[in-house]
Each structure stands twice: as C-alpha cells, then as structure tokens.
A and B are shown apart, each in its own frame.
Chain A
Amino acid sequence: MADHFTLMTLHALLLATFFSFLWKRDGERRRYFFKVFLILLLGAVAVGWLMYPFPRPS
C-alpha cells in the first residue's frame, strides 16, 4: 500500500471509470476511459518532473 505510483495508478483508474460511466454512453465509454486514465497518469508524472528542480525547502 505504500507504493505511491501504484496508489496514483489506482486513483486514476477509479476516476477514469467513474467519469466514463457518469458522462458517456456505451459506445464512447471505452475511448473516454483510456483518454482520462492516460491524462491523469501521464499528467501527474509530467508535473512531478516539472517540480523536480524546485524541491520543498527543508
């Protein structure tokens, strides 16, 4: 449970499932699911890299 990437992936998975069933009909659901999932996952990794040069002051 302590692996942050696993938790982040699970969170993205749950949110993508939720919004694809909330906002999309049967035919468009799968495509929307993958789109949201990848945006959440890759977006978080990208933001993490962008923050890398600015570490939290200790």
Chain B
Amino acid sequence: MAVAEEHRPLPLALVVAGAWLFPGLGHLLLGKKLRAAVFAAVVVVSFVVGILCQGELILPKPGDPLSYFATVATLGNGALFFLAKLLGLGDGVPTAPTYEYGNAFLLTAGVMNLLLMLDAYDIAVGKKEW
C-alpha cells in the first residue's frame, strides 16, 4: 500500500529571503514555475535596461532625504544590485539623455522585487492560494 508523500513546507524565511535574492526565486520555491519565470524575466529585463540607459543605483546621499526612499528600492534588487556593483556598473551618468529613464527602470525593478517578496510571503502563509 502506497504511503502518501508527506508535504513539508519550506521555512518561511527561506522563501522570503530567496524572493529577495533573485526575482522569482520565492515563487519557484513555492512551485509556481510559470509565474516565477515571468517575474524573473520582467525584473531582470527592467534592471538590465536601467543599467544600459546609464541609470544610477541610488544610495543614501547627505542632504537628499528622497535618496533614502530610492535606496530601499535599489536594495530591493537583491543579488542583481550586488552583481552590478561588483562589475562596476550602476554609477549613473547624469548627463546622459536616458539617465532619468534608467533610474525609473532600476527603481521599478527594485520595487517590483519587493512586491514579489510580499506575494511569496502571502502564498507561503496561505493568505493567497494561487
């Protein structure tokens, strides 16, 4: 007689940390493969376009309170942020015509990834079923 396979849920912290580390990883760990792939593609494309547009990965600047909000969004990119910094990218070229667009893409990518963390959390705790 076959014994039903015991379903052991992943630790919540692992799911949320994975969701932050790489876009879509949290959903992948929860078995949502299609959505994980789409989210990964959307956030990575947004991040790469932001870098190509010579946008800036904004970090806190003294005397500029809004930069603190932007920092939250920037750090929301997870491993992409650290990889870009490691490669010497994301310093931004304010004189470039696409600089502001680049910033918009980079900040959007970070905020989208933060939303993905919340979504993965909701799925993991059972607040969202799909």
* Interfacial residues, chain A to chain B (CB-CB below 8 A): 1-2, 4, 7-8, 10-11, 14-15, 17-18, 21-22, 25
* Interface hub of A4, A7, A10, A17 (most chain B Cβ within 10 A): A7
Nearest neighbor of A18 in chain B, beta-carbon distance = B42
Q: Give the complex CA separation of A10 and B43 in angstroms.
A: 12
A15 and B108 contacting across the interface, CB-CB below 8 Å? yes
- Count: A-B pairs, CB below 8 Å: 38
Q: Give the complex CA separation of A41 and B112 in angstroms.
A: 19
Interface of B is mostly: helix
Q: Give the complex CA separation of A1 and B51 in angstroms.
A: 11
Chain-A contact segment, one of B5-13, B64-72, B76-84, B98-106:
B98-106
Interface residues of B in 48-63 (CB under 8 A from A): 49, 52-53
* Interfacial residues, chain B to chain A (CB-CB below 8 A): 35, 38-39, 42-43, 45-46, 49, 52-53, 97-98, 101, 104-105, 108, 112, 115-116, 119, 130
* Known A1-B53, A25-B130; contact A14-B46, beta-carbon cutoff 8 A: yes
* Known A11-B108, A15-B108, A21-B35; contact A4-B101, beta-carbon cutoff 8 A: yes
B98 and A14 contacting across the interface, CB-CB below 8 Å? no
Interface of A is mostly: helix
* Interface hub of B42, B43, B45 (most chain A Cβ within 10 A): B42
Q: Give the complex CA separation of A1 and B108 in angstroms.
A: 18
Question: With a CB–CB cut-off of 8 A, which chain B residues contact A7?
Answer: 49, 53, 98, 101, 105
5 further A-B pairs in the complex, CB-CB below 8 A; given A7-B105, A25-B130: A2-B98, A11-B46, A14-B46, A14-B108, A22-B39
